[in-house]
């Protein structure tokens, strides 16, 4: 090989492993070339399995902590009749005011019918009713875990125990990125990461280029995104070129080190991002009306509003999957105060996001998903000697809604029982919801596979079926 640095510095005798790996007519070099091509292929744009699919991007609004379906989008009048009676599935009720046992809790909120579709929303939603007819509500989803980290992993990766690729990584693996200068999968967390941490947006066993890139909510979105003072881009380019020569030589000598090619690609992506990220994340060019629509510069909407606006800007730039976190909806106590304060933080920004995408002609090609890791129970216990009026974790019933991207807008699919304890109509495991989201994005879960640990793996783990009632 012809290098610009003295080759003698690298003329070390090959190790036994290197010698064995290089046998069979230099198959090691062939493998390395294939590996580099594969790494590049994982991030380049690809055609979908289902050409008729409308969605090209996804914005996943994740309400971490488990929002209560009973107090947001799934009213249960029966709970008003049972309020403060002992929770008893057999139907025999008695006062639980002083028993210390579990008791039924009615919703503290009134409900309204929104839009021509008559969607159910509690009265704390003041802005979302404007876009009610763009929403498709689903009440039949069930999960398996009632523990926050494992439940987060389950919804985000299909595996309760973590370590598997996240939904965003699978989507980017299947469709690639439309912008080679930005990551295909970007995460917008709050100041603290959700329970379970960065494994919620992991690439798992997929190539590392597919992992989610979290942007910091305060300060520089990515540390060291700007070069040090006095270092020009020309100087950086020369340094990267020299580093690439060193890495390329090592990679050809050790093609079994698959992570090196990903690291080389990440260096190049970081270099390109220095030009793209500051402009993509700059909201100064937005109109005053746009900022007001998202609630930016106001409380309590500024934080989530900024991230919703960034999500819109990122999909405009060709980012494939954007996940926006809001926490924490874990309202075990005082549901009126807790959810009553949480809903206004996301209500106006979400409505503005949908309206903004619609006005820009992007809603049809952008799938929006709203959900948490599970729902809440219709009952609670006495805490600290008093009535807390909260709710515990419920894997058997939850509310999910979709917007844009070819979903069946203006419909409510599925139902829970009269007290909201369990789904009873169009009941599906979360794996089927994953398969449905992939299909809306043009991907076939049975074809979107990756060979790992001796078998072909997929997001649904062992297969699932799409919920056709959610697809227009």
Contact 214, 201 (CB under 8 A): yes
Entry pTM: 0.82
Taking only the tens place, the pLDDT of each residue in 27-41 is 444 444 444 444 455
Indicate whether 148 and 295 sit together in one domain: yes
400 assigned to some structural domain: yes
Contact 117, 132 (CB under 8 A): yes
Indicate whether 259 and 357 sit together in one domain: no
6 assigned to some structural domain: no
4 assigned to some structural domain: no
Indicate whether 193 and 246 sit together in one domain: no
Question: What are the pLDDT tens digits along the chain (472 aa)?
Answer: 444 444 444 455 556 555 544 444 344 444 444 444 444 555 677 889 999 999 999 999 999 999 999 999 999 999 999 998 888 655 444 444 444 578 899 999 999 999 999 999 999 999 999 999 999 999 999 999 999 999 999 999 999 998 999 999 999 999 998 988 888 999 999 988 999 999 999 999 999 889 999 987 665 555 455 566 655 556 556 666 666 677 777 777 777 666 666 666 665 555 555 555 656 678 888 999 999 999 999 999 999 999 999 999 999 999 999 999 998 999 998 999 999 999 999 999 999 999 999 999 999 999 999 999 999 999 987 665 566 788 999 999 999 999 999 999 999 999 999 999 999 999 999 999 999 999 999 999 999 999 999 999 999 999 999 999 999 9
3-21: burial string, b at 16+ Cβ within 10 Å, e else: eeeeeeeeeeeeeeeeeeb
Taking only the tens place, the pLDDT of each residue in 370-428 is 999 999 999 987 665 566 788 999 999 999 999 999 999 999 999 999 999 999 999 99
The count of domains in the chain is: 2
Which alpha helices (H) appear in 180-282, and where do they start and end? 233-253, 259-280
Q: Which domain holds residue 127?
A: 26-221+287-470
The dihedral built from the CA positions of residue 99, 100, 101 and 106, taken in this order, carries a sign that is positive
CATH number of the CATH domain containing 454? 3.40.720.10
Indicate whether 157 and 263 sit together in one domain: no
């Amino acid at each position: 090989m012809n290098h610009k640095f003295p080759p003698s510095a690298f003329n070390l005798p090959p190790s036994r492993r290197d010698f064995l790996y290089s046998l069979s007519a230099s198959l090691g070099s062939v493998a390395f070339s294939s590996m580099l091509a594969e790494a590049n292929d994982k991030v380049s744009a690809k055609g979908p399995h289902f050409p008729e699919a409308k969605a090209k991007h996804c914005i996943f609004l994740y309400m971490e902590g488990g929002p209560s379906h009973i107090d947001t989008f799934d009213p249960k009048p029966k709970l008003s009749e049972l309020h403060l009676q002992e929770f008893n599935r057999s139907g025999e009720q008695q006062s639980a005011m002083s028993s210390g046992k579990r008791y039924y809790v009615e919703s503290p909120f009134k409900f309204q019918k929104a839009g021509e579709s008559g969607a159910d929303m509690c009265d704390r939603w003041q802005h979302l009713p404007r876009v009610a007819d763009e929403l498709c509500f689903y009440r039949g989803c069930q999960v398996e875990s009632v523990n926050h980290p494992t439940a987060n992993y389950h919804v985000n990766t299909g595996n309760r125990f973590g370590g598997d690729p996240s939904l965003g990584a699978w989507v980017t693996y299947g469709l690639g990125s439309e912008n080679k200068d930005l990551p295909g999968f970007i995460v917008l967390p709050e100041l603290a990461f959700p329970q379970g941490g960065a494994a919620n947006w992991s690439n798992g066993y997929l190539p590392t280029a597919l992992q989610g890139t979290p942007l910091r909510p305060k300060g520089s979105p990515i540390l060291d995104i700007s070069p040090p003072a006095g270092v020009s881009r020309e100087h950086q380019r020369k340094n990267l070129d020299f580093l690439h020569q060193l890495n390329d030589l090592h990679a050809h000598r050790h093609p079994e080190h698959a992570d090196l090619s990903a690291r080389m690609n990440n260096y190049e992506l970081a270099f390109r991002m220095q030009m793209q990220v500051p402009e993509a994340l700059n909201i100064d060019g937005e109109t005053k009306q746009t900022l007001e629509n998202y609630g930016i510069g106001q409380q309590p909407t500024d934080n989530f509003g900024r991230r919703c606006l960034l999500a819109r800007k990122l999909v405009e730039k060709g980012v494939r999957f954007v996940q926006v976190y809001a926490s924490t909806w874990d309202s075990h106590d005082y549901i009126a105060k807790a959810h009553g304060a949480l809903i206004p933080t996301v209500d106006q920004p979400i409505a503005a996001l949908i309206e903004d995408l619609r006005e820009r002609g992007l809603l049809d090609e952008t799938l929006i998903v709203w959900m948490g890791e599970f729902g809440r129970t219709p009952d609670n216990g006495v805490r600290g000697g008093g009535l807390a009026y909260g709710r515990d974790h419920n894997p058997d019933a939850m509310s999910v809604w979709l917007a844009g991207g070819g979903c069946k807008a203006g419909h409510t699919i599925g139902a829970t029982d009269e007290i909201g304890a369990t789904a009873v109509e169009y009941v599906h495991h979360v794996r089927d919801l994953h398969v449905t989201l992939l299909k809306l994005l043009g991907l076939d879960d049975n074809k979107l596979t990756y060979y790992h640990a001796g078998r072909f793996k997929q997001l649904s783990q062992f297969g699932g079926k799409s919920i056709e009632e959610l697809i227009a």
